[in-house]
Structure 1
């Protein structure tokens, strides 16, 4: 175990904390839930940074980090779908979760072919992740029964933008995989 892997495991352990805090009936529980997710989002960035900086990259970390990210995001999106109960948020969440499943399977398959670098994380994927994380933090913090909130509208827009970028990055990954397939 090293520091980056410990941070990744912490992110996984924060998932049930997020769920419990989200549903606990105390004042500002949504802000606390957003705070829990924020800590997880920061550890997502920090574990990768520290792994590179400290030379502590491991196969276990390379496996576990994307799993932790996808679990945290998927659980947060499910919570938001239940709480916000809108078709557009549900559609955006479905696109984001569905893409993560497709791209994870694609990366696994490409790794078996020895071509994992052909489907490495792209710049669009990083922008998508930033939009997605900011949107989720904002939407977790906001009570959806309060209408006319400009911050809520901005967060919805950012989540929809993340869903569009999600589809775009998936097309890029699928094209890269198709080129590898044609080459074989």
Structure 2
């Protein structure tokens, strides 16, 4: 659902400023979804647990999406939504690296 909302916002705002964090978030969702599936196939799904960073990331994503979907692109508070989206994108990268770090010992053994 987040990916669809971000795709709609990319089209609606038609701006590289919004597209960059949106693509970071979408890319991370694809990578982590694939990682979770791979870990599940190896019987290690529980080894990659959700952290507080992931919960904060999700909260910031929801806040930014609420702001950006509710307001027209030219609205003065739309900038707040973009700033929050950038914060979410930074946490998105941090969260992805945490997942990859936790999964790496199991993945390197399966190669």
Cα RMSD, aligned residues only: 1.3
**Quick one: which of 76, 91, 102 aligns to 1:165?**
91
Write out per-residue CA displacement over residues 59-102 of structure 1, whole angstroms, 9 at most, x where no aligned residue: xxxxxxxxxxxxx1111111111111111210111110110010
In structure 1, stretches of 5+ residues that fail to align are 1-71
Deviation, structure 1 residue 182:
4.5
* Number of matched pairs: 110
Task: Give, in whole Å, the separation in 1 of the partners of 2:14 and 2:23.
Answer: 13
Matching residue of 2:54 = 125
**Quick one: which of 68, 73, 77 aligns to 2:6?**
77
Task: Give, in whole Å, the separation in 2 of the partners of 1:120 and 1:88.
Answer: 31
Give runs of ≥4 in structure 1 deviating > 4 Å.
none
Q: Does 1:116 align with 2:24?
A: no
TM, length-normalised to structure 1: 0.57
TM, length-normalised to structure 2: 0.92
Task: Give, in whole Å, the separation in 1 of the partners of 2:22 and 2:53.
Answer: 18
Q: Secondary structure at the match of 1:175?
A: helix
In structure 2, stretches of 5+ residues that fail to align are none
Q: Secondary structure at the match of 1:121?
A: coil
Matching residue of 1:14 = none
Write out per-residue CA displacement over residues 130-174 of structure 1, whole angstroms, 9 at most, x where no aligned residue: 00000001000111134xx1x222111110000010010000000
Task: Give, in whole Å, the separation in 1 of the partners of 2:3 and 2:17.
Answer: 16
